[in-house]
Copies of this chain bind each other. A is one copy, B any other.
């Protein structure tokens, strides 16, 4: 079997943890498997480098930031190769140039285009454990790029696809994917199996275990993922195309506090208004989440939408800038203390009453709903941020997820 194992920064934060990961990899190798290891930068290394950069130049180019940050994973993989070697198993580290990992040219947020697997296959053939830098790639002009948030997960999945691996294991500091955040809902339960689509909804809704892009890629290439703990040998959660019939209708409850609501009121009721509004934001790479349009007074309309809290100030600034030009409106209103709470479950919407049951739970808990959005496998409500914990507990109990 060829197994790709990905370990995050916490798992390689110091000497002891590096040796711990090395031992796990050697165990797998000694079972007769081929092992490819993907690593992030050690602990807070990326933050340390970013601080150094900011002190020297607060507006440093993304090209040079990527040049700087890619050293982080290179240190991890070199040290890991030494650690595995010290346990008597041959190992070799490879960076994005050596693999090579071809990406698009956008610095800080590149997408993987193609992975050359020849060198990896050769090193595996010579019985080595191969350790590869996550998060990084090279673009057409031979510059380093990085893959953005959750980039190392994406590297691992892409490698699993390119190498046609038998398994792709994402190691983290929790035991797997849970029915809700265990810090908020103490009786949350580990999910044994979950579909790609459910995982996608959970990731985008702030469950935070796997990044969306890695799950999307796993779905596209049919890579079966396992999310498990690097601290113990618990089975973890399997993410795949279809899961067993007996599973619960609702897989989990997720909350996302990193959200803000913008309401644009009194827009002209004409074709193209929504297009203009969201096109301005798209041009600045601002992702918009839930969108709600309602009819306003005097032949106008109101459009509300949510963006991540990091983008809200920029979004408002952009809209204000066009208020006198292409975007005529009466007012722009912002609410930052809001959060999204969602339930996710494959086939949920073909079952009547799921949404209603969620709303009932929230009503019983005295939580007011500000916006609602639904998809095939998800129901999301926007609520006041201070009610998130009690909302999650209420919904979790209602669907008997514990």
Contacts and interface: CB of A to CB of B under 8 A. Distances in A.
A64 to B, nearest CB: 5
B97 A78 contact: no
A86 B59 contact: yes
Contact of A56 (B55, B63, B86): B86
B75 A61 contact: no
A97 B19 CA distance: 29
Contact of A143 (B53, B75, B98, B142): B98
A82 B98 contact: no
Given A56-B18, A79-B53, A85 B64 contact: yes
Interface residues of A, number: 37
A334 B93 CA distance: 42
Interface stretch (A65-73, A187-195, A235-243, A264-272): A65-73
B97 A82 contact: no
Nearest to A74: B71
**A interface majority secondary structure:** helix
Contacts of A98: 142-143
B70 A74 contact: yes
Contacts of A52: 15, 75, 79
A82 B64 contact: yes
Contact of A93 (B49, B67, B82, B92): B67
Interface in A249-296: none
Contacts of A61: 81-82, 85
A57 interface: yes
Contacts of A49: 75
B68 A75 contact: yes
Of A55, A59, A61, A64, most buried by chain B (CB within 10 Å of CB) is: A64
Interface in A80-115: 81-83, 85-86, 92-93, 95, 97-98
A203 B253 CA distance: 70
Contact of A71 (B56, B65, B71): B71
B86 A64 contact: no
A15 B52 CA distance: 8
B57 A85 contact: yes
A93 B61 CA distance: 11
A56 B83 CA distance: 6
Contacts of A93: 64, 67
A60 interface: yes
Nearest to A96: B97
Contact of A57 (B68, B82, B119): B82
Given A15-B56, A53-B82, A56-B19, A92 B63 contact: yes
Contacts of A85: 57, 60-61, 64
A19 B83 CA distance: 37
A102 to B, nearest CB: 14
9 contacts: A19-B56, A52-B75, A52-B79, A53-B78, A57-B85, A63-B92, A71-B71, A71-B75, A97-B97
